[in-house]
Structure 1
Amino acid sequence: MFKSLQNKESIYPFFFKRSLVYLIILLFIQSFIAYGSILLFDMLPESLTGVPKEHVIQRQFQTGSANLIRLQIKEHPERSAQQTLKQLQPLFNYQLMLIPSTTQLSDTVKESLQHHGIGFDDDDNYIYATLDEHQLLKFGPMASTDILDANVMSFWLYLILWSILSSVVFFIIFYFAFAHYWRDTVNIRHTAEALTEGNLKARVRPAQTWLFKPLSIVLNRMAAQIEQLVNTNKTMSHAMAHELRTPLSRIRFELSMMEDAQHIEEVVPYVDGIKQDVEELEDLINISLNFFKLQQNKIIPNVINVNLSTWISKLCDSLIMLKPENFTFTYQCEAIEYPIDTRLTDIIVKNLVMNAFKYANSKAELAIYHKDNKLYIEVDDDGAGISPTERHKVFIPFSRLDTSRTRSTGGYGLGLAYVKLIAEAHNGSVFITTSELGGAKFVVILNHELEE
């Protein structure tokens, strides 16, 4: 518990540190994205952006200044144009000049001069206006409103500020949006590592995100199945070792008695006993191998439509001959067509009925019916019943609740384990309740809608 709390506390600092690294990377990426976006936006035509180009803005702003200068020059013919500009210069924050009309200008400026009589050069930030055939007005440089024309330091300062603000906002959104996903991911990883190290009781805490909630459920289910399988195998190994120990002990005793025998007649009974014990060992090994094989390989039922009443009548007629004396056995079954694997279902019914013959006092009942597209097989007896705390044990291989039973009456404790395997192969289940007859009631549910 302490370890899980410690892991929980360490998740968030680690996530925060990792997120800061991502924030720094994002900062640089955002800067390049911002720069590229500005360049691309500046290249788009005014018809798309709705923002006029700077040369248009400057031309419109300075048209009045150019007209006033022209008017002043025209109203004072006694002075040269240069003298008029010199008088007007103190009124302007930028330089006023006269240049020859033959000066080399950009195509954009020439076109603007031809159509509007005034033009702005984006390269040097100067305004050019027509005056007469031989001279042009030139004034500037003008303060640029285009961020691309600002000095390098100002431009990068803008980019950095924009990137920091956008990255912080994105980081906050990212943190609150993915913190739960990160925590669920780390929890699942810790659980997987614990399972890898052999801690089969490790489980994932319930995930809070929709993406990992099914994964946590599946992982916990898988861990539970692995734990159950390992525990079952351990139980089977111990039980099988115990089963093997009994005939081996008898063989060892019989060999010892044979060594002490004085006459050949005294040896014969022990030889017969050894043969029986060897046969018992062979039976135990064969039935164990068959169960292991059945457990490891997925059982695929071969389902066919069968008349349940006809099928169960033939099966029960063969079982009635094996019931004890003064024992009442009855059965009832719906006379319907139903899809089953008769070979596997025969094993279920035989094991449950023979189990009732062993432990019932005088009466057993079999009922087979279908409900919600599932087949129910129920066997009731009037025996001593099974304690609720002990019911799960009867399905464990080699498990026998009554340890006093011998090999002649108790078998190997695999019959009900077979029933459980077959029921699970049909995507069904088996459980035990208290019977109305006073004993145990075994219920097997076989699902018709098998998994593909």
Structure 2
Amino acid sequence: MRVPEPPGCDEIAQLARTANHTLARLEAAVEQQRQFASVVSHELRSPVAGLHTQLEEALLYPTDVDPTTTIRTALTTTERLQAIIDDLLVLARIRSAPPTTPQPLDLTQLVTEEIATRHHTTPVHTRTTPHITVLGNKIQLIGVLNNLLVNAQRHAHTHIDVTTTRTDHHAVLTITDDGDGIAPHDRERVFQPFIRLDDGRRRDPGGTGLGLAICRAVITAHHGTVDIEDSPQGARFVVRL
């Protein structure tokens, strides 16, 4: 429900418009929470139902079902459930935790060190601008970098390009793979929780579908943006801080 807005620009009219604006934001937030809860319930229901069926079958037909196979399959299912729950907790903490005091960080140094200390299944080529300072949470930004690198490695054919540059008002991190790319109509969808395109499901059937949603939540909390932009080949993720 909204309050009536009287004409004019006096204090009563301004108060009514402010109240309605606040109510609209509240309604949007509640609707977003409802949609998120619905999606989470669906994503958790499927593996739980599968686990229940496996265990029930083992009890009903003990002579026909190999218990070792059942336990092994059930363990895989519970590992997937644990991964989903862990990522959901990360996403919830980012969205609900009070903002922490940001620290000055050298973005280029952070990127260079993380790439150098981790094993990569696909070669990663870097082209960086030194001494780019941003304000943020180091652990969270490392998580964003690793999520984007894992996503790029999943789809790259031969290599990944990582660049850091500086504009007048932003530090820009770009991660580009040379895979098949992402269709323009899917470029915003992939940042929604549990959205996984067919190619992603095929290449990583055990994924949770929350990695890019976490990236978007972290960068938004840092007052930045992360988007997918046009590239001659493959997908090009661009983070601006």
TM-score class, shorter: 0.7 to 0.9
**What residue in structure 2 maps to residue 441 of structure 1?**
236
**What residue in structure 2 maps to residue 181 of structure 1?**
9
Matched, 1:311 2:138: no
Normalising to structure 2: TM-score of the pair? 0.81
How far is the alpha carbon of 1:287 from its aligned partner?
Answer: 2.3
Separation (CA, whole Å) in 2 of partners of 1:439 and 1:408: 18
Normalising to structure 1: TM-score of the pair? 0.46
Contact 2:219 2:226 in 1 (8 A): yes
Alignment RMSD: 3.2
Alpha-carbon deviations, 1:408-446, whole Å to 9, x = none?
A: 54521221122222212222112221113x222111111
Separation (CA, whole Å) in 1 of partners of 2:17 and 2:103: 43
Separation (CA, whole Å) in 2 of partners of 1:277 and 1:259: 18
How far is the alpha carbon of 1:278 from its aligned partner?
Answer: 2.5
Contact 2:90 2:214 in 1 (8 A): no
Listed as ranges, the gaps of 5+ residues in structure 2 are: none
3-state DSSP class of the match of 1:330?
strand
Q: 1:288 to 1:407 in 2, by over 3 A?
A: farther
**What residue in structure 2 maps to residue 146 of structure 1?**
none
**What residue in structure 2 maps to residue 126 of structure 1?**
none
How many positions carry a matched residue from both structures? 238
Q: 1:407 to 1:236 in 2, by over 3 A?
A: farther
Separation (CA, whole Å) in 2 of partners of 1:404 and 1:250: 22
Contact 2:159 2:177 in 1 (8 A): yes
**What residue in structure 1 maps to residue 72 of structure 2?**
272
Pairing partner for 2:175 from 364, 379, 382: 379
**What residue in structure 1 maps to residue 120 of structure 2?**
322
Worse-superposed segment, 185-194 or 294-303 = 185-194
Listed as ranges, the gaps of 5+ residues in structure 1 are: 1-6, 12-178, 201-222, 447-452
Pairing partner for 1:285 from 82, 85, 90: 85
Separation (CA, whole Å) in 2 of partners of 1:335 and 1:301: 24
3-state DSSP class of the match of 2:8?
helix
How far is the alpha carbon of 1:316 from its aligned partner?
Answer: 0.8
Q: Choose between structure 1 and 2: higher helix proportion.
A: 1
**What residue in structure 2 maps to residue 42 of structure 1?**
none
**What residue in structure 1 maps to residue 54 of structure 2?**
254
Contact 1:261 1:267 in 2 (8 A): no
Pairing partner for 2:163 from 361, 364, 367: 367
Amino acid at match of 1:287: D
Pairing partner for 1:331 from 126, 145, 167: 126
Pairing partner for 2:217 from 409, 412, 421: 421
Contact 1:378 1:441 in 2 (8 A): yes
Separation (CA, whole Å) in 2 of partners of 1:443 and 1:285: 27
Separation (CA, whole Å) in 1 of partners of 2:57 and 2:16: 61
- What pairs up with 1:61-210 in 2 under 5 angstroms? 180-182=8-10, 185-186=12-13, 189=16, 192=19, 196=23, 200=24
Contact 1:298 1:425 in 2 (8 A): no
Alpha-carbon deviations, 1:285-331, whole Å to 9, x = none?
A: 2321231122111332541343x544322211234x232xxx44211
Alpha-carbon deviations, 1:120-154, whole Å to 9, x = none?
A: xxxxxxxxxxxxxxxxxxxxxxxxxxxxxxxxxxx
**What residue in structure 2 maps to residue 355 of structure 1?**
151
- What pairs up with 1:208-247 in 2 under 5 angstroms? 223=25, 227=28, 229-247=29-47
Separation (CA, whole Å) in 1 of partners of 2:142 and 2:15: 43
Separation (CA, whole Å) in 1 of partners of 2:212 and 2:149: 11
**What residue in structure 2 maps to residue 137 of structure 1?**
none
Separation (CA, whole Å) in 1 of partners of 2:50 and 2:167: 51
Relative contact order, CA 8 A, sep 6+: which one is greater? 2
Pairing partner for 2:138 from 342, 353, 356: 342
Alpha-carbon deviations, 1:206-247, whole Å to 9, x = none?
A: xxxxxxxxxxxxxxxxx3x862x4444233222212221221
User: Matched residues, percent identical?
Assistant: 23
Separation (CA, whole Å) in 2 of partners of 1:194 and 1:334: 43
How far is the alpha carbon of 1:356 from its aligned partner?
Answer: 0.8
**What residue in structure 2 maps to residue 73 of structure 1?**
none
How far is the alpha carbon of 1:180 from its aligned partner?
Answer: 3.1
Amino acid at match of 1:385: G
How far is the alpha carbon of 1:402 from its aligned partner?
Answer: 2.8
